[in-house]
Chains A and B, each alone.
Chain A
Amino acid sequence: GAGVSQSPSNKVTEKGKDVELRCDPISGHTALYWYRQSLGQGLEFLIYFQGNSAPDKSGLPSDRFSAERTGGSVSTLTIQRTQQEDSAVYLCASSYDRASTDTQYFGPGTRLTVL
């Protein structure tokens, strides 16, 4: 497909377990973003990858959150020792990143529920 894809679409886990969320950006896009959307809220920036540069991790809420981007394409967001407040929709976006004005295209998100 031509859009950003994310998997799984839904994830239910128990408190204390680790989870991995995957994002496949649009082919050719060098920038990749993770956002979190809590129920009834706007999106909250988590982390940004640009090519081979060091990622901007300024939005990660705690050290339980980490993300990797291997080979400049697929990204994985990992949440360790999940807490109930981690329940949210996690959205990934990608862009060409030739300029800060390049459009960010969003995936459908992964809905995480921590019981």
Chain B
Amino acid sequence: GQQLNQSPQSMFIQEGEDVSMNCTSSSIFNTWLWYKQDPGEGPVLLIALYKAGELTSNGRLTAQFGITRKDSFLNISASIPSDVGIYFCAGQLQGAQKLVFGQGTRLTINP
């Protein structure tokens, strides 16, 4: 089945640093999504991307839908302690309802 390769698996950064993570796939996706999951909670949608090349921001978060429709990245600028958590990319094939998830990037911030 389809798989998303997400990297890095984990990041340890200092507060205030910028963060970048990405996802790649061998399949073409119609939609790319980025979720954040806190301990004991379900994932919460951060950014949704619907067009190839689209660049979308949500506060300190910026994400892009790759031109080839096979990749996406998420950047977080000026990280703060509440950014700690696990970030997941997810893709949606055209006409499909189910989401295909990456393995997640665990972000740890040292104050």
Contacts and interface: CB of A to CB of B under 8 A. Distances in A.
A binds B: yes
Interface in B13-45: 30-31, 35, 40-45
B31 A100 contact: yes
Contacts of B95: 100
Contacts of B98: 33, 45, 48, 56, 58-59
Nearest to B35: A106
Given A48-B98, A50-B97, A100-B97, A41 B42 contact: no
Interface in A20-66: 31, 33, 35, 40-45, 48, 50, 56, 58-59
Interface residues of A, number: 27
A56 B95 CA distance: 13
Contacts of B66: none
A4 B95 CA distance: 24
Interface of B: 4, 6, 30-31, 35, 40-45, 48, 50, 88, 90, 92, 94-104
A59 B99 CA distance: 11
Contacts of A33: 97-99
A42 B48 contact: no
A43 B101 CA distance: 6
A107 B92 contact: no
Interface of A: 4, 31, 33, 35, 40-45, 48, 50, 56, 58-59, 91, 93, 97, 100-101, 103-109
B4 A56 contact: no
B48 A45 contact: no
A33 B97 CA distance: 9
Closest 10 CB pairs of A and B: A106-B42, A42-B101, A45-B98, A43-B101, A42-B103, A106-B43, A107-B42, A108-B42, A42-B102, A48-B97
A42 B4 contact: yes
A41 B97 contact: no
A39 to B, nearest CB: 11
A113 to B, nearest CB: 14
A41 B99 contact: no
